[in-house]
């Protein structure tokens, strides 16, 4: 009998101890519930997400002591201690604080793995919808100027070809990614920054200098990763922007979109559309455009489905149509104009990604495929040249596999391994009969990469990695090592140090696929027959301070960069060829050095006032002067079109719940700019003035007793009219002699309807 009672007691005790319980609560921003917030127990990785009312329940939790962690995009995470003692636990409402500096924004670009921005071993800046809205940036090109050490450079009066300079290096030194994939090809790079609309973008992650080796070639200056919008809620919107360039030429933009998600958040779809119509604008009354005519339409889709809690399938794609034209006689066919530069783009892009976690969520496997087709019809000609029509086609394919795993603790710290491979194939065909230019280039690159992030004693994060590339246009395989160190001096202050090696293959770049009209003839770029790859060694360091103090948030980042280029690509004049066209040849120079410092302070008071600015001081020099002209002997080693000082600022003031005032601006310092003869009598290396472009915007959101939100906005871009005043005139002008801000004083009105 005693044995039976003892056995019964032990069984009852075991059942009692094996019983599990529930934890529940609600997540709020002030009085607004947060749908889709992540909630999990640190000790077990058992977690869930909040529903439409902000509520959650974590089930089957054994008795014990736990740390409940709550996170949500745009907010600071919060930890709550929970003790379960044989009963269900209901926690009081948990309120999250807005993360004004995006410290806890999950970023991908820094390490090819999801990581909090503040924990990334290299500085990763984030351009979000808030900043795009404050600066009234309707396309990507307009928003990138408001990031540290980035500058949008305008290169052509006729067609509006622009270029991103990162750390002072021209566009071909930067890797543009779309959702982490290097599908943004050379042909798209000619006008592509102006073809990505604001409503397609969720955020843009920018990694500069020595942190991009894992993305392969063309990532010497850094990487810009465009993360497209994904559905998070059921909503719809309509936006419009009506702008008037110099008060005369119209620039009309319309955006529309919708998000749809299931109640359990296991599937979702986002759709967006964009339309833009811009008239040409003439700055000096010579009937030739300084800003070209533009008609663009795009459609984008992104969808996801989670077959299980541990897997996810994502599809993303877009279609872009764009027609642009510059020159004169816009009412006549292209070949009847004195000068015409015109392109018609049709871009079709699609990608599929599959992600699978193990049961412990410590290991993730992902595989992806992306394809893009770009067709371009073009006309680059002068003097009513009927043969200046051309056509181009670019097909790009990217496929890869990646493993990410938490390997546990050994050698004094925890380790996260990222490894995988990536295959990239690009076939470019470009025909320009009038210039005797026929390009048929296939670039294939197979890369294998490995990286370990070693967290040591909560103070140090050490990243060591390398990528091995086999490129069909480079004779020998290339190894690109990478190393970064993050030292957490205290919770508010961090120091980072980095190194990366990179390369550029001797191939066709975006600037080669644009033909600038100079003196009534075209300027054509070709590669020397013995062109060798270009290599780089990039070093970076930063000191990053961020602190939340009650109602105030203060931050400042100071970072330095130093890049050495060997066998650097340079363009030197080869003289007049064929039917009078100017030939520039890409050759290997001995080397170059780019060095600089960027400062980026930020301040925020509640949700009332925010202010940030970025300013860059740099020096960019070749080892030997570039002989850009046959008639001018150059003795200056400085990079052309690269100011030693440039920067930006953004100031926003929420005067009340209905009124927001925004000020923003871009400073461009003096620089050297080549000016070819045609309108002028001889080639001249000009020293340009500096410019300070300032913008003003006001948003008004009336209170409505409905589920519809409406915001009206109005403002003036470049209200001081800081703009170039010495453009060439007429058919003999140098269309590439353009610098400074991309538009004169421009007035705008807008409206945003949210459902």
Q: What is the pLDDT of residues 655-684, one digit of tens each?
A: 998 999 999 999 999 999 999 999 999 999
Q: What is the pLDDT of residues 110-150, one digit of tens each?
A: 888 888 888 888 889 999 999 999 999 999 999 999 999 99
Q: Are residues 44 and 152 in the same domain?
A: no
Domain's final residue, options 37, 67, 95: 95
Residue 184 shares a structural domain with residue 309:
yes
CATH of the domain at 69: 2.60.40.10
Residue 189 located in a structural domain: yes
Distances (CA, A) of 39 to 77, 108, 704: 10, 21, 33
* Domain boundary pick from 35, 69, 95: 95
CA–CA dist 191, 356 (Å, integer): 36
* pLDDT given at position 187: 84
Q: Say how far apart CA 545 and CA 535 lie, in whole Å.
A: 33
Q: Residue 751 — pLDDT band, cuts 50, 70, 90?
A: very high
pLDDT at 14 over 50: no
- Position 456 in a domain: yes
Q: Provide the mean pLDDT of the chain.
A: 91
Please indicate, yes or no, whether residues 61 and 169 belong to a single structural domain of this protein. Answer: no
- Regarding whether 144 and 88 lie in a shared domain, the answer is no
164 and 303, same domain (yes or no):
yes
Last residue of a domain, one of 95, 122, 148: 95
Exposure pattern of 525-540 as b/e (b: 16+ CB <10 Å)?
bbbeeebebbbbbbbb
Instruction: Tell me, yes or no, whether 629 and 517 share the same domain.
Output: yes
73 within a domain of the structure (yes/no): yes
Task: Give the contacts of 184 (CB within 8 A, at least 6 positions apart).
Answer: 176, 177, 178, 192
Highest-confidence range of 232-236, 420-424, 579-583, by mean pLDDT? Answer: 420-424
Rg (CA), the chain: 28
**Residue 6 falls inside a structural domain:** no
CB under 8 Å to 19, separation ≥6 — which residues?
62, 63, 86
Identify the three-state secondary structure at position 590: coil
Phi and psi angles of residue 172, each rounded to the nearest 5 degrees, phi first = -65, -10
DSSP E strands: which ranges in 457-507?
Answer: 460-471, 478-490, 493-504
Taking residues 592-616, report their average pLDDT: 95
- Does the pLDDT at position 171 exceed 90? no
Binned at pLDDT 50, 70 and 90, residue 9 comes out as: very low
Domain limits for position 453: 106-754
Q: Where is pLDDT greater, at 110 or 294? A: 294
Instruction: Categorize the per-residue pLDDT at 327 as very low, low, confident or very high, splitting at 50, 70 and 90.
Output: very high
Same domain, yes or no: 120 and 64: no
The answer to whether the beta carbons of residues 52 and 35 sit under 8 Å apart is yes
Is 13 part of any domain?
no
Q: Is the residue at 2 inside a domain? A: no
- Mean pLDDT, rounded, for 246-267: 95
Is pLDDT at 93 greater than 50 in this prediction? yes
Same-domain status, 178 and 51: no
- Same domain, yes or no, for 425 and 553? yes
In the sheet that holds 569-577, the strands lie side by side as 516-518, 521-527, 581-588, 569-577
What's the token pair of residue 389?
Answer: 């029509």
Residue 11 domain flag: no
Do residues 217 and 469 lie in contact, with contact meaning Cβ atoms separated by under 8 Å?
yes
Structure tokens at 461: 């994060």
Q: What number of other Cβ atoms are within 10 A of residue 487's Cβ?
A: 15
Q: What is the pLDDT of residue 12?
A: 47
What pLDDT was estimated at residue 473?
A: 92
For residue range 41-69, list pLDDT tens digits in order.
888 778 888 988 899 999 888 988 999 99
Q: Tell me the C-alpha distance between 582 and 588, whole Å.
A: 20
Residue 142, SS3 per DSSP: helix
**Other CB atoms within 10 A of residue 11 CB:** 10
2 has pLDDT over 60: no
Judge whether 1 lies within some domain: no
Kindly indicate the confidence band of residue 353, based on its pLDDT and cuts at 50, 70 and 90.
very high
| Cα angle 425-427-432, degrees, rounded to a multiple of 5 | 155
Burial of 681 (0-12, 13-18, 19+ CB in 10 A): exposed
For residues 143 and 198, is the Cβ–Cβ distance under 8 A? yes
Q: Confidence band (pLDDT; 50, 70, 90) for 212?
A: low
Q: 357 and 496 share a domain? A: yes
What does residue 657 show for φ and ψ, rounded to 5 degrees? -70, -10
Look at residue 507 and tell me whether its pLDDT is greater than 50.
yes
Cβ-in-10-Å burial (0-12, 13-18, 19+) of 615 comes to middle
How many DSSP H helices and E strands does the chain contain?
4, 45
Q: What is the CATH classification number for the domain harbouring 189?
A: 2.40.170.20
Q: Which of 12-16, 210-214, 572-576, 734-738 has the weakest average pLDDT?
A: 12-16
Q: What is the pLDDT of residue 367?
A: 98
Name 308's Cβ contacts closer than 8 Å, sequence gap at least 6: none
pLDDT for residue 11: 46
In this prediction, what percent of the chain has a pLDDT beyond 70?
Answer: 97
707 and 585 within one domain: yes
Give the range with max mean pLDDT: 46-60, 295-309, 445-459. 295-309
Q: Is 45 in the same domain as 141?
A: no
* Token couple for 60: 């089957």
Share of the chain above pLDDT 90, in %: 70
Would you say residue 16 has pLDDT above 50? no
DSSP 281: B
pLDDT score of 284 more than 60: yes
pLDDT band at 158 (very low <50, low <70, confident <90, very high): very high
pLDDT band at 18 (very low <50, low <70, confident <90, very high): low
Q: What is the largest CA-CA distance in the chain?
A: 117
Reported pTM = 0.91
Number of domains in the chain: 2
């Amino acid at each position: 009998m005693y044995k039976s009672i003892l056995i019964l007691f032990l069984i009852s005790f075991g059942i009692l101890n094996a019983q599990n319980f529930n934890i529940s609560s609600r997540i709020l921003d002030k009085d607004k519930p947060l749908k889709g917030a992540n909630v999990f127990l640190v000790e077990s990785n058992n977690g869930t997400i909040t529903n439409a009312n902000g509520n959650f329940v974590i089930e089957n939790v054994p008795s014990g002591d736990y740390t409940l962690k709550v996170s949500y995009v745009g907010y600071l995470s919060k930890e709550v201690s929970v003790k379960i003692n044989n009963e269900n636990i209901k926690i009081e409402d948990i309120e999250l604080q807005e993360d004004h500096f995006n410290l806890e924004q999950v970023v991908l670009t820094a390490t090819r793995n999801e990581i909090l921005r503040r924990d990334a071993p290299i500085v990763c800046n984030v351009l979000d919808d808030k900043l795009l809205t404050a600066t009234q940036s309707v396309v990507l090109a307009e928003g990138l100027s408001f990031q540290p050490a980035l500058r949008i450079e305008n290169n052509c009066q006729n067609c509006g070809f622009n270029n991103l300079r990162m750390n002072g290096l021209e566009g071909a030194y930067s890797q543009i990614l779309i959702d982490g994939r290097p599908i943004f090809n050379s042909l798209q790079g000619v006008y592509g920054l102006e073809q990505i609309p604001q409503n397609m973008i969720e955020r843009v992650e920018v990694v500069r200098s020595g942190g991009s080796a894992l993305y392969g070639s063309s990532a010497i200056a850094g990487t810009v990763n465009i993360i497209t919008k994904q559905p998070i809620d059921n909503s719809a919107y309509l936006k419009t922007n009506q702008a008037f360039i110099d008060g005369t030429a119209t620039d009309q933009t319309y955006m529309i979109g919708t998000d749809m998600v299931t109640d359990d958040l296991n599937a979702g779809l986002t759709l967006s559309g964009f339309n833009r119509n811009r008239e040409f604008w003439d700055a000096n009354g010579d009937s030739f455009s300084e800003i070209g005519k533009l008609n663009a339409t795009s459609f984008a889709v992104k969808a996801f489905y989670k077959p299980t809690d541990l897997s996810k399938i994502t599809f993303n794609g877009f279609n872009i149509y764009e027609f642009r034209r510059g020159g004169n006689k816009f009412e006549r066919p292209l070949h009847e104009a004195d000068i015409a530069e015109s392109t018609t783009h049709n871009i079709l892009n699609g990608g599929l990604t599959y992600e699978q976690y193990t049961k412990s969520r410590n290991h993730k496997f992902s595989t992806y495929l992306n394809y893009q087709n770009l067709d371009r019809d073009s006309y680059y000609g002068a003097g009513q040249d009927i043969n200046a029509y051309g056509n181009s086609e670019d097909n790009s394919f990217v496929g890869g596999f990646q493993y990410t795993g938490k390997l546990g603790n050994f050698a004094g710290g925890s380790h996260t391994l990222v490894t995988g491979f990536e295959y990239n194939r690009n076939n470019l065909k470009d025909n320009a009969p009038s210039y005797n230019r026929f390009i048929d280039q296939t670039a294939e690159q197979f890369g294998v990469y490995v990286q370990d992030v070693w967290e040591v004693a909560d103070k140090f994060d050490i990243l060591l990695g390398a990528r091995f590339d086999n490129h069909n246009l480079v004779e020998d395989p290339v190894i690109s090592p990478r190393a970064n160190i993050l030292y957490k001096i205290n919770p508010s202050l961090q120091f980072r140090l980095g190194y990366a090696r990179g390369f550029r293959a001797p191939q066709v770049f975006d600037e080669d696929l644009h033909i600038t009209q100079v003196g009534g003839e075209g300027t054509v770029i070709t590669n020397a027959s013995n062109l060798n790859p270009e290599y780089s060694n990039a070093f970076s360091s930063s000191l990053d301070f961020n602190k939340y103090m009650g109602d105030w948030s203060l931050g400042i980042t100071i970072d330095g960069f130093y890049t050495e280029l060997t066998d650097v690509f340079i363009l030197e004049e080869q003289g007049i060829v064929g039917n009078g066209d100017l030939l520039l040849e890409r050759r290997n120079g001995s080397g170059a050095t780019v060095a600089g410092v960027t400062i980026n302070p930020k301040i925020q008071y509640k949700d009332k006032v925010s202010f940030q600015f970025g300013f860059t001081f740099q020096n960019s020099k070749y080892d030997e002067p570039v002989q850009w002209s046959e008639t001018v002997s150059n003795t200056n080693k400085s990079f052309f079109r690269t100011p030693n000082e440039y920067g930006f600022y953004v100031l926003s003031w929420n005067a009340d719940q209905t009124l927001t005032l925004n000020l923003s601006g871009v400073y461009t310092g003096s620089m050297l700019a080549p000016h070819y003869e045609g309108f002028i009598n001889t080639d001249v290396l000009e020293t340009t003035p500096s410019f300070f472009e300032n913008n003003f915007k006001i948003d008004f959101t009336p209170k409505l007793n409905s589920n519809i939100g409406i915001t009206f906005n109005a403002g003036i871009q470049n209200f001081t009219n800081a703009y170039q005043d010495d453009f060439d005139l007429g058919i003999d002008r140098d269309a590439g002699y353009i610098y400074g801000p991309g538009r004169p004083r421009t007035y705008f009105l807008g409206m945003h309807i949210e459902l």
